Structure 1
Amino acid sequence: MGPQAALPERLSRAVEARREETVRLLQEFVRVPSVTGYEGTFAAAVAEAFREAGLHTETFEATREEISPYLEHVGEQARYEGRPNVIGRRPGLGGGRSILLNAHIDTVEAGDPTAWAEDPFSGAIRGGRIYGRGSCDMKGGLVTHLAAIRALGDAGVELAGDVTVAATVGEEDGGLGALATILRGHRADAALITEPTRLALVPAQGGSLVFRLTVRGRAAHGAVRSRGVSALEKFIPIFEGLRVLEREREASLSHPLYENIDDKAPLSVGLVRSGNWASTVPESLVAEGRLGLIPGEEMRDIQDLVAGRVAEIAARDPWLREHPPELGWIGGQFAPAEVPVDSPIARAVARAHEGVTGGRPVVEAVSYGADMRHFVLLGGMPCVMYGAGDVGVAHAPDEHVNIEDLLTATKTVACLLADWCAAAG
């Protein structure tokens, strides 16, 4: 067996040798809150970890000026100050392909701590899992990158191609950090995002649009409610019509990687505000929701589709004809994106996974939006997602990642780097 044939085994041993250190690093990361918009303290810890891993490290904050042409992606309300992105570089010897490894450092809120079996910022270990907000989505993915790079050094592996690690802010509300990273010129021959995919290879991500719908009524005392017009009652047929639209889309959409996904393009209303007094007919209602897209769909087309359906429903009601609902698109808008299943980076990740596990990875799409779209659509980089963890426990109480899966992902990324960037040694 030649040295290259034995490389996956060498790298796997190097990852295992740092098992406790890798677990400890993720625990330390989980213990530093980094809710979207407030990533600064955690970014400092990430920069220190990058330097300890031997990466040439820089930090930068996005500016409104550079992002302003792309506000439809990140939203008008994005904050910029105190939210540094962290970039680490491992220069190669020259002549090899480059790669950009990405993980976002922001998380959603922990929510009610009493709903958790463990403190959401404890990094507790139970049953072979590390618990805490961000453990799965996606501080575990960031640790995967760092541990893989350390394994290369421990195994004495030099790379011909450059490796860039981008720890970016704001993914949860539009991808401000990934967008700024690309605009600053950080690009490569391919990109890998270690989102929690359950070790599946993901070459396609869904998109999502966030909308706000305002319905007007007329206030009146509840004792004479017929003199008023309830905005809530006027909203109900609109809501029902949107559910019909969701069912129509689910029945008509087709994509080979979405055949086994139950909710290909879900439409959900997550927030409704109406009325200000129990005995007053509500004069207004504001509803906000999310609509999914699949690769191949254009955001503008779907926005027009929804607007047309709302207008169609309103035209059937005399009050709404005179007082049409107002539909707007708010926050970050996520376009869908995909790369060919047989693209070089997809094949390389599959080879690396097979070299570590002995079997080919599951290949599937995800219905949620992610930063992959920025790297593919804006950066022009082929990009796939692959990582430990299950998105089904992300954003939820008792979020966790399985330690063995974390190490498997780390071994896979290490082998990917050795293959893609042309290992020597």
Structure 2
Amino acid sequence: MNQQERIMQWIDGHHDEIIEFLQQLIQIPSVNPWFFEEAAPSKEKDVQEFIAKKLSGLGAEIEMWEPVADDLKQYEGMAGYYPGRDFSGRPNLAATFGQGAAGKSLLLFGHIDVVKAGSKWTVDPFGAEVINGKLFGRGAVDMKGGVAAMIMAVEAIVRSGVKLKGPVIVGTVVDEEAGGMGALDFVHHGYRADACILTEPTSLTIAPLCRGILWGKLKIQGRSGHIEMPQTDWQAGGAVDAVKKARLFLDQFDLLNEDWAVRKTHPLLPIPCQVHVAQFNAGEYPTSFANQAEIVFNAQYLPSERDEKLVGGHVKKELEEFIHNIAKTDPWLSENMPEIEWMVDADCAETEVSHPFVQTCVQSLQAIGLEGKIEGLGFHTDMGWLVNVGIPTVNFGPGDPRLAHHSDEFTPVDEVIDAVKMIAKTILDWCETEEA
């Protein structure tokens, strides 16, 4: 029996142990504190300590540290930097196997924070129940399924007695769900590798690209007045309905999206970049015209559109000019110009499909009997800073990304096992092994 057969046999013989490890990760509710209205203790440290214990038991050298926002000021205006963010009790973790080995190195990377559970679950969101071959729980898809798979792939290699020529680093970070400052800090801390698998959910496709995401809040001014009474012209002090003014922008967003659907496409992405309205907030009383309306939107951008700081400045400028030009067509808005508040700029990145590491991942997936499909991700992942510092990166993991953040989030158990096999195979082929 060769080394690969031994490893695959170990995985096949430890299905229950692999799934139990994922269940244990989910049962620690490591909700990013950004989602709490009031300060609350984070469980991110609990997950990291649980992972550290697991990996140290496999022989890894462990480093765990809390990011310090002030130490990252040099990245102001770049992806992942948020001044004053508190990381007390929220450490990053790096576990290194084969420190100093001469062969090609591989980083296995993922975030351990999750969004809040939210409502309308039919099961305990942190119960990690397996029902009809599906493992339910907050983070099962995004992205503890992938984190469990990469760690168990390493365990399969260690337990099978296989010695690698190159080092493997397991990196787990905090704060991805609130902008990616954990990943920025991990890179700033100095960790590098010859390639990386970021185990975000991809439904077991190879994803060497992710889009950038902008969150914006468009604030449109009106002037309140009794909604049931006749109003004078606004220039004479009459009411101005901010809801009606907001409709102008909503209609124009539809037209903009028709343009973007032609111009902002990528061969690896199934859908074009668009501006999607996510929230609409307006008005104070049922008897008054709205004083102000707020349109919260999500706009996507491509790696080719990044600015000199490797984020979405060009697209921000495009949207600001678009809003300004619409406002100039309306006398009220011309004198009461809407404002855009930019809330998030989550960066994007791309690794060429022809890169040897991408092809290694495709071959690994095919070797375990799957198609080896390549497709980009329409959402942001932490791959940006990894690619920025020269680490070719693919996203690959179990779970349908469309189920991330949903009620009753689940990952098929079989996908988790297949992900373990693919990652183990990639480690063998990329890092290579010493002769038995």
TM-score by length of 2: 0.91
SS at match of 1:95: coil
Q: Which residue of 1 aligns with 2:90?
A: 83
How many Å apart are 1:93 and its aligned residue? 6.6
Structure 2 stretches of 5 or more lacking a match? 34-41, 232-237, 307-311
Q: Percent identity?
A: 29
Q: Which residue of 1 aligns with 2:390?
A: 380
How many Å apart are 1:372 and its aligned residue? 0.8
How many Å apart are 1:342 and its aligned residue? 1.4
Structure 1 stretches of 5 or more lacking a match? none
Are residues 1:324 and 2:337 paired? yes
- Counterpart amino acid of 2:377? V
Distance in 2 between the 1:77 and 1:360 partners? 45
Query: After the TM superposition, which parts of structure 1 deviate over 6 Å for at least 4 consecutive aligned residues?
Result: none
More moved, 213-222 vs 131-140: 213-222
Preserved contact between residue 210 and residue 349 of structure 2 (Cα < 8 Å): yes
2:402 equivalent among 392, 413, 425? 392
Preserved contact between residue 279 and residue 295 of structure 2 (Cα < 8 Å): yes
Q: Which residue of 1 aligns with 2:9?
A: 13
Instruction: Give CA deviations for 1:85-144 in whole Å, capped at 9, x if unaligned.
Output: 1111111572200111101101111111xx222111111011111110001111111111
- Counterpart amino acid of 2:116? E
1:405 equivalent among 415, 418, 424? 415
Are residues 1:290 and 2:298 paired? yes
- Counterpart amino acid of 2:305? E
Are residues 1:354 and 2:366 paired? yes
1:278 equivalent among 283, 286, 293? 286
How many Å apart are 1:71 and its aligned residue? 4.5
1:365 equivalent among 357, 376, 401? 376
Distance in 2 between the 1:285 and 1:361 partners? 47
Distance in 2 between the 1:132 and 1:106 partners? 13
Instruction: Give CA deviations for 1:131-173 in whole Å, capped at 9, x if unaligned.
Output: 1000111111111111111111122111111111111111122
Are residues 1:252 and 2:281 paired? no
Instruction: Give CA deviations for 1:372-407 in whole Å, capped at 9, x if unaligned.
Output: 111112x22110111111101111011111111111
How many Å apart are 1:285 and its aligned residue? 1.9
2:351 equivalent among 323, 339, 347? 339
1:268 equivalent among 276, 292, 295? 276
- Counterpart amino acid of 1:308? E
Task: Tell me the C-alpha RMSD between the 2 structures.
Answer: 1.7
TM-score by length of 1: 0.93
SS at match of 1:296: helix
More moved, 196-205 vs 249-258: 249-258
Distance in 1 between the 2:71 and 2:280 partners? 34
How many Å apart are 1:77 and its aligned residue? 6.9
Distance in 1 between the 2:290 and 2:187 partners? 46
Preserved contact between residue 69 and residue 84 of structure 2 (Cα < 8 Å): no
Give runs of aligned pairs for residues 118-197 of structure 1, distance below 5 A: 118-197=123-202
Distance in 1 between the 2:230 and 2:172 partners? 55
Distance in 2 between the 1:127 and 1:156 partners? 34
Distance in 1 between the 2:431 and 2:319 partners? 45
Q: Which residue of 1 aligns with 2:110?
A: 103
Q: Which has the higher helix share?
A: 1
Preserved contact between residue 70 and residue 84 of structure 2 (Cα < 8 Å): no
- Counterpart amino acid of 1:86? L
Q: Which residue of 1 aligns with 2:205?
A: 200
Distance in 2 between the 1:93 and 1:153 partners? 17
Preserved contact between residue 225 and residue 281 of structure 1 (Cα < 8 Å): no
Q: Which residue of 1 aligns with 2:309?
A: none
More moved, 88-97 vs 322-331: 88-97
Preserved contact between residue 211 and residue 329 of structure 1 (Cα < 8 Å): yes
Q: Which residue of 2 aligns with 1:50?
A: 55
Preserved contact between residue 99 and residue 421 of structure 1 (Cα < 8 Å): yes
